[in-house]
């Protein structure tokens, strides 16, 4: 149980200027996907409050920031995060919702093989709730279990207090064996096991309605969801682009919060609606005040078709489980997945098309193919083709860079309740595409629906770049590059940070990012500078410098009254 402590009401004068934000008309999830122009978020002065049962209009803040990513052999991407006064590198995962790190008590299973820095159990502030989270499919499933606690969390220089996270004392998840202390889940609150457990401790009896769950998102919800709900971000969104450190080193990986990356125009992306999950399909039940609401559950979108070298493959004939829709084809857009996963029959057809020696019935089938023959596997989304760079379709099989294998494509489970997708597009897709994730209104999605924007970054000369990479490998003893790029935790620990508060009005400040803001009693907005931000420790990683926009303008008197502080 939480006790709510009232603190002194505070009146503060703040200078601010109206900032432009996303404001879109409600769109149907089934809107014609080729009509991407109407799905582009539009600019407006106003922001509809995401508070439960409240549709007040308020001004949105102007905070945005970006941070470089670590890359472990193109299999797993990590982001620096501060929990309390400690820095960690955590796996970036749009396929799950929860934040967790391993404790110094985690010594078995995957932790036995991990040398990563851990969160000390002695510094943990428990919330009195245990949690167990599950990942993967029926053949690759893993778990992480531990206790829920509260701490101040910072990512990309943006800080929020009283963030729930799990301190894990047992896990079979292999990310902790590969330079990650845990996972940062970026999906929706409805899929958060931590928020589910925290909400279940409040009140009595079963949660017949989801009123309290929805209302509690800005308090016990996932990290980026809380930042989006604070109103402090320039836009309730984040975007991801991945670098490449295998086959052919290239690109700059980054996580950008609150806006699109610099230099990227909104109109250049293909925007499509996120698939919503009705209650019967495993989704969140609507709250009593909005019985017609249908909530998103995953970052999942419909796809129009799958193509290899321009040829479209027939959709899967494998029926869905649990009587869910077998005809609709959607894809989970998942940074936490190191592969491209799809229906078993379609995957076998694709691999048989590129490899003359592929035997799907072999105990360990290998789809061997010549390295120098490029293939283009593409997914049609919103009427537009999004190909996988041919450098990301293969990996090295022999020691002379002559024979490769198409091992980035594997089969996964058919759709079922809670997992309606047939495809899961993982890290190879993110090396070929910039992807923007727009939360919209998290408590009333019908007012501002979630969507995903896609921008292909595959160069026109990708086939030639593959040939060039093969030639470089020949000069390197027949070996393609395969390296590890650490997350820029050192520079992230030294950068400026700005604190936002969830569940209250946000007013932007006129202070330059080069000046230190005096901390107000409301703690609505505060910045501190540990030292001058430094460049990423790796030259290819995106700059870890602050990119926080704060505007100038008019005076406003506001009152923050009886702010609740969580206490145990």
- Structural domain including 487 reads 65-496
> Which residue would you say has higher pLDDT here, 567 or 428?
428
Give yes or no for residue 309 having a pLDDT over 70.
Answer: yes
- Looking at the domain assignment, is residue 474 inside a domain? yes
CB count within 10 Å of CB 545 equals 20
- Looking at the domain assignment, is residue 85 inside a domain? yes
| Rounded Cα gap, residues 22 and 368, in angstroms | 47
* Tally of domains in the chain: 1
- Looking at the domain assignment, is residue 10 inside a domain? no
- Looking at the domain assignment, is residue 450 inside a domain? yes
Give yes or no for residue 23 having a pLDDT over 80.
Answer: no
| Rounded Cα gap, residues 27 and 103, in angstroms | 44
User: Which pLDDT does position 210 carry in this prediction?
Assistant: 77
Catalytic site residue from 334, 389, 413, 448: 334
Residue 469 near residue 389, CB atoms below 8 Å: no
pLDDT in tens, 39-73: 666 544 444 444 434 444 556 799 999 999 999 99
pTM of the model: 0.82
Query: How is 456-500 classified by DSSP, letter by letter?
Result: E---TTHHHHHHHHHHHHHHTTT---B-EE---HHHHHHS-EEEE
- Looking at the domain assignment, is residue 3 inside a domain? no
| Rounded Cα gap, residues 166 and 205, in angstroms | 25
Lowest mean pLDDT among 28-42, 61-75, 212-226: 28-42
Catalytic site residue from 93, 170, 302, 392: 93
| Rounded Cα gap, residues 282 and 301, in angstroms | 16
- pLDDT mean over 167-195: 97
Whether 262 is catalytic: no
pLDDT in tens, 513-554: 222 222 222 222 222 222 222 333 333 333 333 333 333 332
- Looking at the domain assignment, is residue 35 inside a domain? no
Q: Where are the beta strands (DSSP E) in 222-339?
A: 237-241, 254-257, 270-273, 276-277, 295-296, 300-302, 305-308, 311-313, 330-333
pLDDT in tens, 327-358: 999 999 999 999 999 999 999 999 999 999 99
- Looking at the domain assignment, is residue 566 inside a domain? no
Whether 211 is catalytic: no
Pairing of strands 565-567, 3-5: antiparallel
- CATH number, position 116: 2.40.70.10
Give yes or no for residue 272 having a pLDDT over 50.
Answer: yes
- Looking at the domain assignment, is residue 429 inside a domain? yes
Distance from first CA to last CA of the chain, Å, rounded? 7
């Amino acid at each position: 149980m939480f006790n709510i402590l009232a603190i002194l009401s505070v009146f503060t004068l703040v200078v601010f200027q109206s900032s432009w934000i996303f404001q879109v008309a409600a769109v149907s999830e089934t809107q014609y996907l080729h009509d991407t122009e109407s799905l582009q978020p539009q600019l407006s002065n106003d922001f509809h409050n995401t508070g439960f049962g409240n549709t007040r209009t308020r001004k949105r803040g102007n905070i945005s920031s970006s941070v470089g990513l670590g890359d472990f052999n193109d299999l797993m991407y990590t982001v620096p995060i501060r929990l309390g006064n400690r820095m960690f590198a955590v796996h970036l995962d749009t396929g799950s919702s929860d934040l967790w790190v391993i404790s110094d008590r985690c010594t078995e299973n995957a932790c036995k093989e991990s040398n990563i820095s851990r969160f000390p159990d002695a510094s943990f502030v428990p919330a009195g709730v245990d949690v167990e989270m599950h990942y993967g499919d029926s053949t690759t499933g893993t778990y992480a279990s531990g206790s829920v606690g509260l701490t101040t969390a910072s990512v990309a220089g943006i800080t929020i207090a009283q963030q729930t996270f799990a301190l894990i004392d047992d896990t079979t998840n292999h990310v902790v064996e590969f330079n990650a202390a845990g996972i940062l889940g970026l999906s929706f609150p409805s899929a958060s096991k931590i928020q589910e457990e925290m909400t279940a401790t409040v009140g009595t009896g079963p949660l017949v309605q989801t009123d309290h769950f929805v209302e509690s998102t800005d308090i016990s919800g996932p990290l980026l969801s809380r930042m989006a709900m604070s109103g402090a971000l320039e836009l309730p969104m984040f975007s991801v682009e991945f670098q490449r450190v295998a086959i052919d080193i290239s690109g700059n990986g980054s996580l950008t919060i609150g806006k699109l990356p610099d230099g990227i125009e909104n109109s250049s992306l293909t925007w499509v609606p996120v698939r919503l999950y009705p209650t019967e399909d495993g989704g969140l039940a609507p709250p009593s005040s909005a019985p017609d609401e249908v909530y998103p559950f995953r970052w999942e979108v419909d796809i129009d078709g799958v193509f290899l070298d321009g040829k479209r493959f027939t959709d899967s004939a494998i029926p869905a489980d649990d009587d869910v829709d077998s005809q609709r084809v959607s894809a989970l857009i998942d940074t936490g997945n190191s592969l491209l996963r799809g229906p078993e029959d379609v995957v076998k057809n694709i691999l048989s098309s590129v490899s003359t020696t592929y035997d799907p019935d072999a105990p360990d089938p290998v789809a061997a193919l010549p390295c120098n023959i490029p293939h283009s596997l593409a997914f049609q989304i919103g009427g537009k083709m999004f190909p996988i760079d041919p450098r990301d379709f293969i990996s090295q099989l022999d020691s002379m860079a002559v024979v490769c294998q198409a091992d980035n494509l594997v089969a996964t489970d058919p759709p079922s309740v809670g997992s309606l997708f047939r495809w899961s597009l993982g890290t190879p897709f993110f090396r070929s595409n910039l992807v923007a994730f727009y939360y919209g209104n998290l408590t009333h999605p019908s007012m501002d629906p979630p969507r995903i924007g896609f921008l292909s970054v595959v160069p026109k000369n990708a086939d030639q770049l593959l040939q060039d990479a093969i030639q470089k490998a020949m000069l390197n003893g027949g070996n393609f590059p395969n390296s590890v790029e650490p997350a820029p935790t050192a520079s992230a620990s030294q950068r400026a940070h700005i604190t936002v508060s969830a569940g209250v009005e946000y007013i932007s400040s006129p202070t330059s990012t080069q000046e230190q803001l005096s901390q107000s009693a409301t703690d609505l907005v505060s910045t501190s500078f540990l030292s001058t931000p430094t460049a990423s420790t790796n030259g290819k990683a995106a700059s870890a410098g602050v990119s926080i926009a704060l505007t100038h303008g008019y005076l406003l008197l506001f009152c923050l009254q009886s702010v609740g502080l969580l206490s145990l």
